[in-house]
Amino acid sequence: MATVPSLLNASFLTPKPLTQHKTLPCTKPTSLFFFPSAFASFSTLQRHRFNGQTPIAASLKVTFGENVGRFKKTLGDFTSLNYWVVRDYYRLVDSVNALEPEILRLSDEQLTAKTSEFKKRLSQGHTLSDIQAEAFSVVREAARRKLGMRHFDVQIIGGAVLHDGSIAEMKTGEGKTLVSTLAAYLNALTGDGVHVVTVNDYLAQRDAEWMGRVHRFLGLSVGLIQKGMTAEERRTNYQCDITYTNNSELGFDYLRDNLAGNSDQLVMRWPKPFHFAIVDEVDSVLIDEGRNPLLISGEASKDAARYPVAAKVAELLMRGLHYNTELKDNSVELTEEGIALAELALETNDLWDENDPWARFVMNALKAKEFYRQDVQYIVRNGKALIINELTGRVEEKRRWSEGIHQAVEAKEGLKIQADSVVVAQITYQSLFKLYPKLSGMTGTAKTEEREFLKMFQMPVIEVPTNLPNIRKDLAIQAFATASGKWEYVSQEVEYMFRQGRPVLVGTTSVENSEHLSDLLKERNIPHNVLNARPKYAGREAEIIAQAGRKYAITISTNMAGRGTDIILGGNPKMLAREIIEDSLLSFLTREAPNVEIDGMEISRKVLSKIKVGPSSMALLVKAALMAKYVGKSEGKSWTYQEAKSIISESVEMSQSMPLKELQKLIDEQSEMYPLGPSIAITYLSVLKDCEVHCTKEGSEVKRLGGLHVIGTSLHESRRIDNQLRGRAGRQGDPGSTRFMVRYMQAVVDEIVFANADPLKHPRYWSLAKLLKEFVAIAGNLLDDSFAAISEEDLLQSLKQLHNSNSVAIDTFHLPNLPKPPDGFRGIHRKNSSLKRWLAICSDDSTKNGRYRPMINLLRKYLGDILIASYLNIVQESGYDDVYIKEIERAVLVKTLDCFWRDHLVNMNRLSSAVNVRSFGHRNPLEEYKIDGCRFFISMLSATRRLTVESLLHYWSSPMESQELFLS
């Protein structure tokens, strides 16, 4: 293996002469690395002197380089296939724009009659392409009249992309929902039915009500498929010209139809149930969840009583003694001792007896114990264990784990055991959507998956230009030495933005992380909203995200939650107006409490500015409240909470589908019948005007402050997932910024500790000598003589003493009788942090449980503190400014990663040839390639981390020695 420093350029790492003058104190934590997205060349690093002066020639060189970069980028865009495809679509845009003056002159009746005219022309032999420009112009005018929204030119392009059976990649906030009306209307003219598929019930209902106004105005029927509908209701809605549904309902309806005993039980359009589909968030449906099978199960054996017994046996068995686990494939293996104990507890002579098979139940109980955790893989709601989708963070009520796993989880939680089942029908989303003769989709991030879309569905991805230039600032990624340091800095950055009034959206990867950050913000008295899979938040998903752009709004969300809802700076006036109406009227319409737990809403609302409605709106609110109370009392009506919300929803829809004069006319004509709906509709329109004024004013303030700030707390394996989070900021030319923060130096220490310490065994059985050797090899000359003299016996005695102690102070913690971390580490952890808190932060899902796990975590902390504090001290003593230090850290990482990445590509090429031989052993070469390739990649990342840290430590501890090695 090459010497560590030889990876780097010698001239680049030449130590610079120091100039003596004062510097401003650094306000940011120095325990993190900064990796800007654009790499500076190594030669430019020489310009970063301690005094910050840059020679004129170097400045001119940089300016010229930036201009060349811009030229190359423009030239690249010009020569790309996407550029020419979009350019061709502008011909259609010109045609649509040319027709607009003519369409504008049509009356509502004449505009509606265009639908019949189009259908007639199609029956006479015209094609959809022949009428496309005119149909798009009609839809644009209908949307302007019914929604107050006129399609931008780029939205016309998006509609054309969908009509051509492609995927339209449109950035967040560019109006994908409105774009769908163009292709949906045009393809519905054939009478074969169009499906608009969303990712959840809320979005399907919202779009059917909202966009449905355009289609209904033009004479098309609009259907909606929702959970809980009867077969007759589903049949009616599938017969509509355009049907809105979510992917889950669509898939299960198809499976149920295939199990139907006769034609009367069918709900879809048979014999041709599929014609054309527009899939919203197509990457989420066809890639993230594409291979997840939808299952319909039938009841099998009546073994429900065995699961609780097996769960009790699993509690008796100890990992490492009675069974072993394999994290890679979530498998368990019983030892001889485990088999004997299980057979004794179950009073059976053979755990694998065919006539009395207990083995499957015990193994599933152990898997439920080890690999399935509440609030991570599932939540418990209303006496049921509900699966949390690991990608979206949403609860999937209709999914159940197969092969008895779900029953084992139910037994572990003490829930009622659902009968075991066998699969009678199944299909994946990818197989389902291949049944459509014509398929299209839209999303904000699909280009990175274009190859898979082309391979699986023959759908190209077309990047639709933004309506306005994107001015969002994507700040440098920050890598932290410790997880605790990362979360500490996240909370600091949130507080900093909050004090300014800027809205912040924090993306997390799990329920646990979102609630941990929530606890940290509560300690700082920062009001915020949390959005994750828990039921108390799920009911407010759209409401929380819609108001995440308001001044002082802080939102913590799982990365995928809230997709499909725009974040408007200053707040969404329509949602705010509806919220005011509900707050004012629901208590008069129903006495029933909402069936969702609401947590933290009041504290978050206190800090958001109140919407001041005018006197006329206030008078209408009072009048509508009195009318609601009177109607309920006089007619003896008692609405449920959901029925009351439906009344308000229908009234809001009425307000946007009928002119004000017609609403007032309804009230005048039906004054004796207490027309509650029109009264609420008029009230909503008045409140909406007040909300629009407020949101516009507040939005201007938020833009002045810099717009929405998005923080990503970790990088996802898929770059597309990260881009989805980034895309929440910078909507429609708005200002905004993003920053991602990740775990680094501590990870190297953790790997050393985990490789040499077993939480199931006493420290005397740990490989302490090897652990110390690896740690000292990484640190090099950075450690002082006192630590270098530590022996294996010293460390063992210290750990024993720690194990026997009753309490540990986290702020001053160090292993007994061993050197303390240098003073430079003080202040990184907050003084009110507790040991329990730190252990929760540093815990890793892959860390084994065991009696000595707390000791391992404390050893991780101690060695990490030693390494990081020593690094911070020596960097500070070097006298270089933060800019130069960050450049060094970034360049070392890039150079190291580049080296290992080349080796990784070579290894992958060799692997592709080697796995073919395994087919002779009846093993799937493709699966073998995926498994080994993943292992290679993880090893490559681990080696990169270790060598990067080792290179940095060697450089700063002995720069002159490093220089000699580079030159040799």
Tokens describing residue 533 = 């899979």
Query: What pLDDT shows up at residue 587?
Result: 79
Q: Which has the higher per-residue pLDDT, 843 or 260?
A: 260
| Same domain, yes or no: 168 and 98 | yes
pLDDT of 381 over the 90 cut: no
Based on the domain organization, do 197 and 291 belong to the same domain?
yes
Q: Which residue has the higher pLDDT, 562 or 927?
A: 927
Q: How many domains does the chain have?
A: 5
pLDDT in tens, 202-229: 788 888 988 999 999 999 999 999 988 8
Place of tokens 């589909």: 277
Token pair 């003769």 is found at: 437
723 with 834, same domain: the answer is: no
Judgement on whether residues 579 and 612 belong to the same structural domain of the protein: yes
Query: C-alpha 123: how far from its chain's center?
Result: 46
Strand locations in 400-483 (E): 421-428, 438-443, 461-463, 473-474, 477-480
3-class DSSP state for residue 196?
Answer: strand
Confidence of residue 861 (pLDDT cuts 50, 70, 90): confident
Q: Tell me what pLDDT residue 468 has.
A: 79
Domain that holds residue 189: 81-297+430-463
Could you tell me if 32 and 481 are in contact, meaning their C-beta atoms sit under 8 angstroms apart? yes
Q: What is the pLDDT of residues 715-773, one digit of tens each?
A: 655 555 666 676 666 677 777 767 665 576 777 877 788 778 887 778 888 888 888 88
* Cα 604 to Cα 601: distance, rounded to the nearest angstrom: 5
- Are 736 and 610 found together in one domain? yes
Do 447 and 336 belong together in one domain?
A: no
pLDDT at residue 235 above 90?
Answer: yes
Question: What pLDDT is recorded for position 763?
Answer: 83
- Give the 3-state secondary structure of residue 294: strand
Which residues face 422 on adjacent strands?
298
Among 151-160, 294-303, 598-607, 873-882, name the most confident range.
Answer: 151-160
Higher-confidence residue of 335 and 631: namely 335
Q: What is the mean pLDDT of the chain?
A: 75
Task: Judge whether 522 lies within some domain.
Answer: yes
Report if residue 23 sits inside a domain: no
Reduced to 3 states (helix: H, G, I; strand: E, B; else coil), residue 28 is coil
Q: Quick one: which H or E segment has residue 246?
A: strand 242-246
pLDDT tens, 178-195? Answer: 999 999 999 999 999 999
Does 5 fall in a domain? no
pLDDT of residue 245: 94
Kindly report the CATH number assigned to the domain that includes residue 904: 1.10.3060.10
Question: Would you say residue 561 has pLDDT above 60?
Answer: no
Q: Are residues 118 and 152 in the same domain?
A: yes
Residue 516 burial (CB count, 10 A): 17
Which among 732, 728, 690, 656 is positioned nearest to 579, based on CA atoms?
690
What CA–CA distance (Å, rounded) separates 816 from 393? 42
On the CB side of 851, CA atoms within 13 Å amount to 8
Residues 209 and 216: their CA atoms lie apart, in Å, by 10
Q: Which of 651, 490, 506, 541 is nearest to 585 (CA)?
A: 651
**Residue 112 and residue 137 in one domain:** yes
User: How many Å apart are CA 284 and CA 293, to the nearest integer?
Assistant: 14
Query: What pLDDT score was predicted for residue 945?
Result: 77
Cβ–Cβ contacts within 10 Å for residue 148, how many? 8
- For residues 138 and 273, state if they share a domain: yes
| Domain harbouring 534, CATH code | 3.40.50.300
CATH number for the domain spanning 375: value is 3.90.1440.10
What pLDDT does residue 41 have? 30
Are residues 846 and 940 both part of a single domain?
A: no
Within-domain flag for 37: no
Q: Which residues contact 648 (CB under 8 A, 6 or more apart)?
A: 578, 581, 582, 585, 586, 589, 680
Select from 722, 743, 764 the last residue of a domain.
743
**Of 586, 575, 583, 535, whose CA–CA distance to 553 is shortest?**
575
Q: Is residue 727 included in any domain, yes or no?
A: yes
Residues 780 and 905 in one domain: no
Distances (CA, A) of 946 to 713, 774, 805, 885, 900: 22, 11, 33, 19, 12
pLDDT(302) > 90? no
* Half-sphere exposure at residue 359, Cβ-oriented, CA atoms within 13 angstroms: 14
- In a domain, residue 14? The reply is no
CB 413: neighbour CB atoms within 10 A? 16
Whether 570 shows a pLDDT value over 60: the answer reads yes
Q: In this predicted structure, what is the pLDDT of residue 55?
A: 27
Instruction: Tell me if 306 is assigned to some domain.
Output: yes
**Which segments of 613-727 does DSSP mark as H helices, in order?**
615-634, 641-657, 660-669, 676-705, 719-726
For residue 4, is pLDDT > 80?
no
Whether the bond between 271 and the residue before it is cis, its omega within 30 degrees of 0, is yes
Contact 528, 515 (CB under 8 A): no
Contact 653, 213 (CB under 8 A): yes
Start-to-end C-alpha separation, the chain: 16
DSSP-derived secondary structure for 842-854: H--TTSPP-TTHH
Q: Are residues 279 and 170 both part of a single domain?
A: yes
Check whether 279 has a pLDDT greater than 80. yes
Per residue in 653-690, is it b (16+ CB within 10 Å) or e — as a string? bbbbbeeeeebeebbeeeeeeebbbbbbbbbbbbbbbb
In the chain, the amino acid numbered 807 is S
CB atoms within 10 A of CB 935: 12
Q: Does the pLDDT at position 147 exceed 60? A: yes
Query: What confidence category does residue 858 fall into, taking pLDDT thresholds of 50, 70 and 90?
Result: confident
Distances (CA, A) of 362 to 240, 309, 356, 859: 50, 9, 13, 34
Quick: pLDDT tens for 312-341.
988 888 888 888 887 766 788 888 888 888
Rounded CA-CA distance 771/146 in Å is 70
Angle between helices 81-104 and 56-79 (to 10 degrees): 70
Upper half-sphere CA count for residue 277 (Cβ side, 13 Å): 27
Q: Is residue 735 part of a domain?
A: yes
Q: State the Cα–Cα distance between residues 786 and 794, nearest whole angstrom.
A: 12
Query: Taking the model in full, what pTM does it have?
Result: 0.59
Report whether pLDDT(466) > 90.
Answer: no
